[in-house]
Amino acid sequence: MLWSRRRRLGSPLLRAALGFRLGRRWCGPPGRAACTERGRAWLRPVGCDTGVQVYNSRTGRKDPLIVERADAVTWYSCGPTVYDHAHLGHACSYVRFDIIRRILTKVFGCSIVMVMNITDVDDKIIARASSMDMSPVDLARVYEEDFKQDMAALKVLPPTMYLRVTENVPQIISFIEGLVARGHAYSTARGNVYFDLRSRGDKYGKLVATVPGPAAESGDSDKRHPSDFALWKAAKPGEVSWASPWGSGRPGWHIECSAIASAVFGSRLDVHSGGADLIFPHHENEIAQCEAFHRCAQWGNYFLHSGHLHVKGKEEKMSKSLKNYITIKDFLRTNSPDVFRLFCLRSSYRSAVEYSDGTVLEARHVLLHLASAMEDARAYMRGQLPCGTVEENVLWARLASTKGAVEAALADDFNTPRAVDAILDLVQHGNRQLRAAAEDASGPRSPAVFGAIVTYVEQFFETVGISLSSQQYVPGDDGVATLHSVVDKLVQFRTKVRQYALAAPTATEEEARQQHIRERRPLLEACDALRQDLTAHGINIKDRSRAASTWELLDPRVKCQGPGS
């Protein structure tokens, strides 16, 4: 862990925007009141207090995150419906929750057991497969693998296990049978099975202040009540189906997550996550199904929801249906995964975030600034950066206060914008010290404090999945190791040439001095040309003084980095 756990923080309530606020109505068609005022019916868990206050969609407020076991925090994440390439709207949600998972693990000492479903049978999958003349199973496998590759490219940690819907149909059927036996579901003559929402009485509506009214139904619906929802769909001609007590068919959407999560975690679940668009009806229906099946008062102690990614100038979220999306693969052709991760860190995971070329460019520039600052600090530590006395005590105090501020921010509902701002302030203060000290290169040096700052800053970003070191290579990769050695030798040779060319002439006569300068100017020009040429190949040389130069690798996807910058 980077930081030790502290006592639970008592932060003031923040009324967060997930499309609604406590006491206000959900933006939807007229409906009925929810089960009770949100939060009043919430049962505070018994177990291990993680030290984090988390915004809980069940209560509409920040609650202390208390888990049954810190060494096995149970977390269910709604996974993708695999019928097309994933886009940045999906990426934003998964990266944000990956950051939270890393923080809980590395900062607050939790070990997380995460399960994610793969929806590999669905109306959209069936329709897309038909249009492409493929079987739904083959189509789903192609895009499932595509999704996993995208997540790996974004450095999203895989869940403890993925579970496909098609491989859990027996468990889903058994779950539905349990709901029917308990009087919460009914089958129809057509072979459909529905959840009887009226059987929940006033217990429905745990996540919303007002339950929206039911959508309009076709005249031939076989539901008892318009608000009932499908658990099992009778097979249509030519569709993939499974045998069941009610005839051939396939699972409904909401039931798959309830059955899969229950198959692994039973009646107890610490954390459930997903996008804000899943709050109603999907997660609300999951709660109804699980509490009815398990006959428990509370299933899923904490529901975490991420805000949508919006396209600049538009209020709608990025989505396939609106055809306003950018695929993850397209984004990564011109940007690094660290750029997108920092883009996500600069806003609350719960807030809607605007995507534009400008916001991505800003994240890219911040990363470049951080990497450059770390290299400058290292150059100072190696004695390559001419520098005088720095205010060492001030830097140690600033580092200590930054650590406290960052931990407090992360314990306050994973407030990454506040944490990153504290880190950037620390880096900026260190840079000011180096620039001010450079005016006077005499006096004692303070490499230890800069080493501590570099270590802390890089560890923080490693914690959230970002690598600031541009010169890291994978152990055992001899080719990359050799490249670094060759560039080291090349830069050392160039430094010696510059040092020779810049050496003061020994001649006293002016004409001889000018002749000396003219003779050595081609050497300096050759050194500059080499620096320019290497920049084109992603190697940036920085001349620190007449006798010292350093180098760094540039991101080949970034075209705006100048040589020696």
- Position 21 scores a pLDDT of 30
228-263 pLDDT per residue, tens = 999 999 999 989 999 999 999 999 999 999 999 999
Residue 224 scores a pLDDT above 60: yes
Name the band, by pLDDT with cuts 50, 70 and 90, for residue 18: very low
Give the residue carrying structure tokens 């011109």: 334
Name the band, by pLDDT with cuts 50, 70 and 90, for residue 26: very low
Name the band, by pLDDT with cuts 50, 70 and 90, for residue 462: very high
What's the rounded mean pLDDT across residues 391-411?
97
- Position 540 scores a pLDDT of 84
The percentage of residues in the chain with a pLDDT greater than 70, rounded to a whole number, is: 85
pTM: 0.82
For residues 56 and 312, the model is more confident at 56
- Position 525 scores a pLDDT of 84
- Position 390 scores a pLDDT of 87
CA distance 261 to 449: 48
Pairing assessment for the beta strands 61-67 and 48-56 based on DSSP bridges: antiparallel
30-79 pLDDT per residue, tens = 444 444 455 558 999 999 999 999 999 999 999 999 999 999 999 999 99
CA distance 442 to 389: 7
Which range among 294-298, 357-361, 537-541 shows the weakest confidence by mean pLDDT?
537-541
Would you call the peptide bond into 281 cis, given omega within 30 degrees of 0 as the criterion? yes
187-221 pLDDT per residue, tens = 999 999 999 999 999 999 999 988 888 877 777 89
CA distance 174 to 194: 14
Which range among 95-99, 442-446, 460-464, 503-507 shows the weakest confidence by mean pLDDT?
503-507
Residue 269 scores a pLDDT above 80: yes
Residue type present at position 157: L
CA distance 224 to 203: 19
- Position 521 scores a pLDDT of 85
Question: Phi, psi (5° rounding) for residue 267?
Answer: -90, -5
Residue 178 scores a pLDDT above 90: yes
**Phi-psi region for residue 443, left (φ > 0), alpha (ψ -120 to 50) or beta?**
left
Burial class (CB in 10 A: 0-12, 13-18, 19+), 543: middle
Q: How far is CA 492 from the centre of its chain?
A: 40
85-143 pLDDT per residue, tens = 999 999 999 999 999 999 999 999 999 999 999 999 999 999 999 999 999 999 999 99
- Position 563 scores a pLDDT of 42
- Position 218 scores a pLDDT of 73
For residues 542 and 299, the model is more confident at 299
The alpha carbons of the chain give a radius of gyration, in whole angstroms, of 29
What's the rounded mean pLDDT across residues 140-167?
98
- Mean pLDDT value across the chain: 86
Residue 12 scores a pLDDT above 70: no
User: What are the E-state strand segments in 419-527?
Assistant: none
The percentage of residues in the chain with a pLDDT greater than 90, rounded to a whole number, is: 65
For residues 4 and 300, the model is more confident at 300
Residue 278 scores a pLDDT above 80: yes
Contacts of residue 6, Cβ cutoff 8 Å, sequence gap at least 6: 51, 407, 408, 411
What's the rounded mean pLDDT across residues 527-552?
80
What's the rounded mean pLDDT across residues 278-293?
98
- Structure tokens, 71: 């060494």
Residue 182 scores a pLDDT above 80: yes
- Position 495 scores a pLDDT of 77
Q: What angle do CA 207, 212, 217 make, to 5 degrees?
A: 130
Pairing assessment for the beta strands 353-355 and 309-311 based on DSSP bridges: parallel
Residue 545 scores a pLDDT above 90: no
Name the band, by pLDDT with cuts 50, 70 and 90, for residue 529: confident
Q: Are 107 and 408 in contact (CB under 8 A)?
A: no
Question: Phi, psi (5° rounding) for residue 301?
Answer: -75, -35
Q: Helix, strand, or coil here: 230?
A: strand
- Position 59 scores a pLDDT of 96
